[in-house]
């Protein structure tokens, strides 16, 4: 689904999205909620407690009350205001720590969904752009689920302040007897309304600008993230230096920066202008409030204490209305962002929007014989016009070793991805023991395969955990697999043995050479002890001697299993039982090395002679 441009979300839908987000927040981080709510309650009632006690003290003083009464009010004021202040600080200190926690939990929820999403979903640009928009909305504009507790509390605060201020300032809303039409009060209410309407108008305008900015900036900022990573990751450092790409990359980074700055300037101007207008309106409201209080005081309707209370309350009233309008606006603004987040984590209207889990239900029996049959399999990458693979018919079975050979781009890796259900065929089907692989549970099916891809990843985790792909493992078996992969000698030299952290992400971590990493990837595939082992050019970074050792050892280890090798070095493949030759997405030959060499005009013989020529020169 295209979501380049976010649709307009109606107010009620926004409110619903915000409340659905509250549900997610409660699920992820309910411990944070009580301290956060309490801290906000204490902040809100503090000024009113101060106003109330000041008025009582003044009244006691001006009416000549006994000194004990004055003292009691003073003690009450001190205890109440300090007590509220201390309680608020206590609650804030707890929720400040937990607030960061909430941010990470909501973020981790996104990672969890991304890790579970179908592989092919991750390749779609929409996913990258959605992540970018969610991140950007948070970091640039404070929109998103992490802001929901704050916005809802603002609403509760605004409501509390408005109602409390109305209660304390009530005398100015009642006409002074004999004073005729209370123009000052009418004007004050009119200004309050104008101020509220203007706030709605200016916040909406600012919001539209921000929304537009997020959409306009999503793609350039995504590019900027990549470029920024290139500049900071040592992997790209050599190429950037040797091909003198620093200026080009800096230029691209600056271009996006300038765009960000330009848009932010426009927003700052609007914010400053509307802040000025709101300030002027608020001053007018305060002046009118004092006028109204003065008129009633002169008429003898207010005591000295009440004058202070009412004047203070009217100022609070303006603030309360501002907070209320702001928070209602923000609930509307957060709505679409909450909706996007909910859609992303699968709790929106369409739970499968970003994870089309096409899972089956059958278990896979790994104990007995197995056979995989490809029937007229064809595959086109999402959005691609060309077929990466077409008309493939092939039978793979236990105990047989296969080699896939062919030029770059002939479809070999694509075939492996289809076998392990990283993708489903666009046409035709793949059967395991006579049943379409789509009928099996995906996690069960994947236990059938141990694959070392060309672009495998070794993770920045301790060595043993990498090999076992688990935090608890059988040390002896890990060492055996490392030995089979030719990496045990290297592993034993590491200061922390199997606990050795890999890569310099962690202190004391070691970096790996291409060859070392490949050996670890092979050891990981062996540790999985799967019935079908697939090596996709796994030895490209190994020297010929290491490669030949790996292959010899590997063959004996996987002897009784199924194995599939993809390699450009045909000499490594010649010992396989069956060699499948791919050309432009089609299987063009299948047979043993000898049989294929016998077909003099065949693709395999051409490739073989071309390679032999290099060694004979």
Residue carrying the six token digits 């292959």: 551
Nearest distance, CB of residue 517 and ligand ADP, angstroms: 20
Please give the structure tokens belonging to residue 279: 């300030």
- Distance separating alpha carbons of residues 548 and 208, to the nearest angstrom: 63
Half-sphere exposure of 191 (CA within 13 A, CB side): 24
Stretch that binds ligand ADP, among 92-100, 250-258, 407-415, 587-595 (CB under 6 A): 407-415
Query: Considering the rule CB under 6 A, would residue 414 count as an interface residue with ligand ADP?
Result: yes
Stretch that binds ligand ADP, among 233-241, 330-338, 408-416, 419-427 (CB under 6 A): 408-416
CA distances from 538 to 465, 469, 613 (A): 20, 18, 24
Nearest distance, CB of residue 387 and ligand ADP, angstroms: 9
Taking CB under 6 A as the criterion, the residue among 195, 413, 518, 589 binding ligand ADP is 413
Which DSSP letter does residue 6 get? P
Give Cα 24 to chain centroid, integer Å. 15
Nearest distance, CB of residue 128 and ligand ADP, angstroms: 13
Stretch that binds ligand ADP, among 43-51, 196-204, 222-230, 402-410 (CB under 6 A): 402-410
Query: Considering the rule CB under 6 A, would residue 538 count as an interface residue with ligand ADP?
Result: no
Query: Considering the rule CB under 6 A, would residue 348 count as an interface residue with ligand ADP?
Result: no
- Per the CB < 8 A criterion, the answer to whether 516 and 490 are in contact is yes
Residue carrying the six token digits 């900022």: 221
Nearest distance, CB of residue 415 and ligand ADP, angstroms: 7
| Residue with Cβ nearer ligand ADP (295 or 581) | 581
| Residue with Cβ nearer ligand ADP (173 or 381) | 381
CA distances from 425 to 71, 126, 363, 370, 414 (A): 85, 22, 21, 20, 10
Query: Considering the rule CB under 6 A, would residue 408 count as an interface residue with ligand ADP?
Result: yes
77: Cβ contacts below 8 Å, ≥ 6 apart: 49, 50, 53, 54, 56, 57
DSSP letters, 215-245, are HHHHHHHHHHHHHHHHHH-HHHHHHHHHTT-
Which DSSP letter does residue 543 get? -
Taking CB under 6 A as the criterion, the residue among 154, 410, 465, 466 binding ligand ADP is 410
Stretch that binds ligand ADP, among 181-189, 266-274, 346-354, 406-414 (CB under 6 A): 406-414
Closest residue by Cα to residue 377 from 580, 149, 134, 602: 580
Nearest distance, CB of residue 555 and ligand ADP, angstroms: 22
Stretch that binds ligand ADP, among 102-110, 133-141, 411-419, 474-482 (CB under 6 A): 411-419
Gyration radius (Cα) of the chain, Å = 35
Stretch that binds ligand ADP, among 330-338, 404-412, 526-534, 602-610 (CB under 6 A): 404-412
Residue carrying the six token digits 């105990």: 399
- Distance separating alpha carbons of residues 88 and 43, to the nearest angstrom: 6
| Residue with Cβ nearer ligand ADP (46 or 454) | 454
Nearest distance, CB of residue 356 and ligand ADP, angstroms: 17
Nearest distance, CB of residue 449 and ligand ADP, angstroms: 16
Burial label, 107 (beta-carbon count in 10 A; 0-12, 13-18, 19+) = middle
Angle between helices 234-242 and 183-232 in degrees, nearest 10:
70
Nearest distance, CB of residue 370 and ligand ADP, angstroms: 24
Mask: binding to ligand ADP, 122-141, rule CB under 6 A, as x and -?
Answer: -x------------------
| Residue with Cβ nearer ligand ADP (317 or 416) | 416
Nearest distance, CB of residue 465 and ligand ADP, angstroms: 29
Taking CB under 6 A as the criterion, the residue among 411, 462, 531, 562 binding ligand ADP is 411
Please give the structure tokens belonging to residue 308: 């202070």
Query: Considering the rule CB under 6 A, would residue 425 count as an interface residue with ligand ADP?
Result: no
Taking CB under 6 A as the criterion, the residue among 381, 456, 473, 503 binding ligand ADP is 381
- Distance separating alpha carbons of residues 158 and 154, to the nearest angstrom: 6
- Distance separating alpha carbons of residues 564 and 566, to the nearest angstrom: 7
562: Cβ contacts below 8 Å, ≥ 6 apart: 370, 396, 397, 398, 399, 400, 401, 402, 531, 532, 533
Nearest distance, CB of residue 616 and ligand ADP, angstroms: 26
Query: Considering the rule CB under 6 A, would residue 164 count as an interface residue with ligand ADP?
Result: no
Taking CB under 6 A as the criterion, the residue among 34, 409, 514, 598 binding ligand ADP is 409
| Residue with Cβ nearer ligand ADP (299 or 384) | 384
Stretch that binds ligand ADP, among 98-106, 277-285, 403-411, 510-518 (CB under 6 A): 403-411
Total interface residues for ligand ADP by CB under 6 A:
12
Query: Considering the rule CB under 6 A, would residue 198 count as an interface residue with ligand ADP?
Result: no
| Residue with Cβ nearer ligand ADP (149 or 406) | 406
Stretch that binds ligand ADP, among 185-193, 350-358, 410-418, 523-531 (CB under 6 A): 410-418
Query: Considering the rule CB under 6 A, would residue 567 count as an interface residue with ligand ADP?
Result: no
Residue carrying the six token digits 């996690």: 443
Which DSSP letter does residue 506 get? S
Nearest distance, CB of residue 131 and ligand ADP, angstroms: 18
Nearest distance, CB of residue 398 and ligand ADP, angstroms: 24
Query: Considering the rule CB under 6 A, would residue 388 count as an interface residue with ligand ADP?
Result: yes
- Distance separating alpha carbons of residues 166 and 285, to the nearest angstrom: 14
Query: Considering the rule CB under 6 A, would residue 406 count as an interface residue with ligand ADP?
Result: yes
Query: Considering the rule CB under 6 A, would residue 230 count as an interface residue with ligand ADP?
Result: no
Can you list the alpha helix ranges (DSSP code H) found in 119-147?
119-122, 125-141
Nearest distance, CB of residue 593 and ligand ADP, angstroms: 19
Closest residue by Cα to residue 210 from 144, 305, 279: 144
Query: Considering the rule CB under 6 A, would residue 589 count as an interface residue with ligand ADP?
Result: no
| Residue with Cβ nearer ligand ADP (305 or 538) | 538
| Residue with Cβ nearer ligand ADP (360 or 428) | 428
Query: Considering the rule CB under 6 A, would residue 202 count as an interface residue with ligand ADP?
Result: no
Query: Residues, the chain, total?
Result: 617
Nearest distance, CB of residue 583 and ligand ADP, angstroms: 10
- Per the CB < 8 A criterion, the answer to whether 89 and 69 are in contact is no
- Distance separating alpha carbons of residues 459 and 494, to the nearest angstrom: 17
Three-state DSSP at 136 gives: helix
Report how many helices (DSSP H) and strands (DSSP E) the chain contains, helices first: 21, 10
- Distance separating alpha carbons of residues 204 and 187, to the nearest angstrom: 25
Can you list the alpha helix ranges (DSSP code H) found in 396-462?
412-419, 442-446
- Binding footprint of ligand ADP on the chain (CB under 6 A): 123, 381, 384, 388, 406, 408-414
């Amino acid at each position: 689904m295209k979501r380049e441009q976010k649709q307009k979300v109606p107010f009620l839908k926004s409110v619903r999205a915000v409340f659905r987000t509250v549900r997610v927040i409660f699920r992820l981080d309910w411990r944070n909620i009580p301290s956060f709510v309490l801290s906000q309650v204490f902040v809100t009632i503090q000024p009113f407690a101060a106003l109330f006690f000041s008025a009582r003290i003044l009244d006691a003083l001006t009416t000549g009350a006994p000194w004990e009464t004055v003292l009691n009010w003073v003690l009450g004021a001190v205890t109440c205001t300090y007590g509220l202040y201390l309680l608020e600080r206590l609650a804030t200190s707890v929720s400040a720590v937990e607030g960061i926690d909430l941010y990470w939990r909501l973020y981790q929820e996104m990672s969890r969904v991304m890790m579970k999403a179908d592989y092919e979903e991750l390749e779609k640009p929409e996913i990258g752009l959605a992540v970018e928009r969610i991140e950007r909305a948070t970091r640039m504009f404070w929109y998103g689920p992490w802001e929901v507790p704050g916005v809802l509390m603002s609403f509760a605060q605004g409501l509390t302040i408005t109602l409390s201020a109305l209660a304390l300032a009530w005398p100015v809303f009642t006409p002074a007897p004999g004073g005729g039409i209370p123009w000052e009060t009418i004007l004050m209410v009119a200004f309050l309304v104008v101020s509220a309407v203007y706030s709605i108008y200016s916040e909406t305008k600012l919001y539209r600008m921000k929304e537009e900015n997020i959409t306009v900036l999503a793609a350039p900022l995504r590019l900027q993230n990549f470029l920024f990573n290139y500049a900071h990751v040592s992997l790209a450092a050599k190429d950037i230096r040797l091909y003198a790409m620093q200026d080009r990359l800096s230029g691209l980074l600056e271009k996006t920066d300038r765009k960000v700055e330009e848009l932010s300037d426009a927003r700052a101007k609007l914010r400053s202008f509307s802040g000025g207008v709101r300030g002027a309106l608020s001053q007018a409201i305060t002046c009118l409030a004092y006028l109204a209080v003065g008129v009633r005081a002169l008429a003898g309707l207010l005591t000295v204490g009440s004058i202070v209370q009412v004047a203070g309350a009217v100022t609070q009233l303006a603030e309360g209305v501002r907070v209320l309008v702001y928070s209602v606006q923000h609930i509307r603004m957060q709505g679409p962002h909450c909706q996007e987040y909910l859609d992303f984590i699968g709790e929106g209207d369409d739970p499968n929007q970003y994870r089309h889990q096409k899972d089956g239900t059958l278990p896979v029996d790994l104990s007995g014989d197995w056979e995989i049959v490809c029937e007229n399999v064809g595959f086109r990458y999402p959005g691609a016009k060309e077929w990466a693979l077409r008309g493939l018919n092939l039978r793979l079975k236990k105990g047989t070793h296969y080699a896939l050979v062919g030029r770059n781009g002939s479809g070999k890796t694509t075939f492996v991805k289809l076998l392990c259900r990283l993708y489903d065929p666009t046409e035709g089907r793949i059967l395991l023991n006579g049943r379409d692989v789509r009928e099996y549970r995906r996690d069960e099916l994947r236990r059938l395969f141990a694959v070392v891809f060309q672009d495998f990843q070794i993770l920045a985790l301790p060595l043993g955990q990498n090999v076992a792909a688990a935090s608890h493992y059988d040390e002896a078996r890990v060492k055996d697999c490392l030995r089979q992969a030719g990496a045990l000698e290297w592993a034993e030299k590491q200061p922390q043995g199997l606990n050795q952290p890999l890569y310099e992400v962690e202190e004391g971590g070691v970096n790996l050479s291409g060859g070392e990493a490949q050996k670890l990837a092979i050891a990981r595939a062996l540790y999985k002890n799967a019935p079908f082992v697939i090596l996709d050019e796994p030895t490209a970074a190994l020297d010929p001697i290491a490669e030949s050792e790996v292959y010899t050892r590997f063959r004996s280890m996987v002897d009784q299993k199924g194995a599939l090798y993809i390699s450009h070095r045909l000499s490594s493949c010649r010992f396989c039982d069956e060699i499948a030759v791919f050309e432009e997405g089609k299987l063009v030959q299948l047979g043993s090395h000898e049989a294929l060499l016998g077909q003099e005009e065949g693709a395999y013989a051409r490739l073989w002679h071309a390679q032999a020529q290099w060694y004979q020169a």
